[in-house]
Structure 1
Amino acid sequence: MVDRTIASRPSLEQIMAIVDFMEKHTALALGNLRGLEGRHESKQLWAKLTRIVNGIEGPTRPMKSWIKFWADKKSTVRSKVLAIGDPNNLCSNIEKKIWDLFLASDHNCRVKQETHFIDESTFNDEENIDNGQSEPAGDCQEIVEPISSIEERQMAIMEKLVKVMTDQATALSQMASASQAHSRAMERLAEASHIQAQALNRLATTLENAGGAVADVSAAISGIDASLKRFYEPSPS
């Protein structure tokens, strides 16, 4: 199995997980957790976020690397807004979300290196973190900024579109099968109705023939009775 190195670009899912986590912990996202208690809470939250992000498909990094990635990501968004002048022209929905949630209120919008996120005394690699778990040792390496481009969004949209079309095709196939079964049932019902009509017709013919035979028998009996009466009539004296 190939090791996932910190030099690899974070996956889109990892970046989205970071932004969602920061949305729930705004003070951490803005670097406002200061003082002894604040640094302790910040360390615990970063350790939790590191476990979450490293559990998602993409590169595995130590906590300090993810801290630097977040600081660099915000600085990158600031730089882009200063360059284009309008945050609405950002090409990535994730970058727009980062701007709206964490940077829009910074009216001065100065491009700055947020070094307060990486405090050697606070995030010491040798220090145990969160119930005895420690971060891997090693210096932060150069992080390649992820490409959150229109192509990525288009690929995600295409994947969703393919899934929807597949679901629709499955539903249509099921409807066609049900319609075919219903059609066969109607054909069998029509055939049964035709057979029943033929049986009733034969029954009516039989009854009609039986009625004619009864009339003939009755006429014959009447004829025999008349003959007998004539035979036994007394002769005139």
Structure 2
Amino acid sequence: MTDRTIASRPSLEQVIAIVDFMEKHRSLALGQMRGLEKRDESKKLWFKLTRIVNNLEGPNRPMKSWVKYWADKKSTVRSKVQASGGDPNSLSSNIEKKIWDLFLADDTSRDRSSVKLESHYTDESFYNEDNVDGNHVESEPVLAFEEPAIDLEERQMLVMEKLVKVMGDQANAMSQLAHASHLNSQAMERLAEASHIQARAVERLVTSFEAIGASTHEVRNAIVDIDSTMKRFYSTSPT
């Protein structure tokens, strides 16, 4: 047990973390996880919550203490509202109001039989015998090798999440590459078409120049013929 004793009050950060966790696991928050399978699942969730909360600023408590804290916190909130005639506005903090709204507002008619649903969380049988050492001082809970299983499961989930993210990024990169290749292909097609049009234009220009050249040659020949004819005409005329 560290210097952060069980007797210390939880910090606001720890209480917020507990409420947020319970909001994601309503069955756990309401003590409705019954049966062997659900009982094992509830142990894992409580152990996970214990590790989360103990890593925050505030007292470091064993799992059993956090289970009891949650049950007591709900009981306190319920008692305050009942003492005020059922008015939740009498609650002194936003956290208590959130606990009321999320977990207690729809269950104002809870009697002893319904409250008893949560009692198994505080039964000694809920914990492994290894939770208590030889000096009867409660130590960190040992859930029959559940912690390594949880760690392995979490690691596998993290690896899978990273793998999915990498595959998603890779797929996105491939999609962008394919799009770029398609654009490049379209650009090359347009360039080829432009080159073909340019070649045809040059061909027509060459043809035009050839036609002009031929016409010029014919005109020159015609002028030469006219000149020759004129010379013969004047040379044969009488003086």
Match of 2:103 in 1: 102
Contact 1:78 1:109 in 2 (8 A): no
Match of 2:81 in 1: 81
Q: Deviations over 1:21-72 (max 9, x none)?
A: 0000000000011101000000000000000000000000000000000000
TM-score between the two structures when normalised by the length of structure 2: 0.52
Tell me, in whole angstroms, the C-alpha distance in 2 between the residues paired with 1:109 and 1:37. 25
Match of 1:161 in 2: none
Match of 2:120 in 1: 116
Tell me, in whole angstroms, the C-alpha distance in 2 between the residues paired with 1:8 and 1:49. 18
AA partner of residue 32 (structure 2): N
SS in 2 for 1:9: coil
| Displacement of 1:84 | 1.2
Higher share of residues assigned helix: 2
Q: What aligned pairs does 1:30-45 form with structure 2 within 5 A after superposition?
A: 30-45=30-45
The answer to whether structure 1 residue 131 and structure 2 residue 147 are counterparts is yes
Match of 2:47 in 1: 47
Identity over the aligned pairs, expressed in percent? Answer: 68
AA partner of residue 69 (structure 2): F
Q: Which runs of 4+ in 1 moved over 3 A?
A: 109-114
How many aligned residue pairs are there?
132
AA partner of residue 108 (structure 2): H
TM-score between the two structures when normalised by the length of structure 1: 0.52
Contact 2:88 2:100 in 1 (8 A): yes
Q: CA RMSD in A?
A: 2.0
Tell me, in whole angstroms, the C-alpha distance in 1 between the residues paired with 2:147 and 2:94. 36
Q: What aligned pairs does 1:5-24 form with structure 2 within 5 A after superposition?
A: 5-24=5-24
| Displacement of 1:105 | 1.2
User: CA 1:120/1:89 → structure 2, altered by over 3 Å: closer, same or farther?
Assistant: same
Contact 1:78 1:110 in 2 (8 A): no
Tell me, in whole angstroms, the C-alpha distance in 1 between the residues paired with 2:14 and 2:77. 17
Tell me, in whole angstroms, the C-alpha distance in 1 between the residues paired with 2:129 and 2:54. 17
SS in 1 for 2:89: helix
| Displacement of 1:121 | 1.6
Match of 2:61 in 1: 61
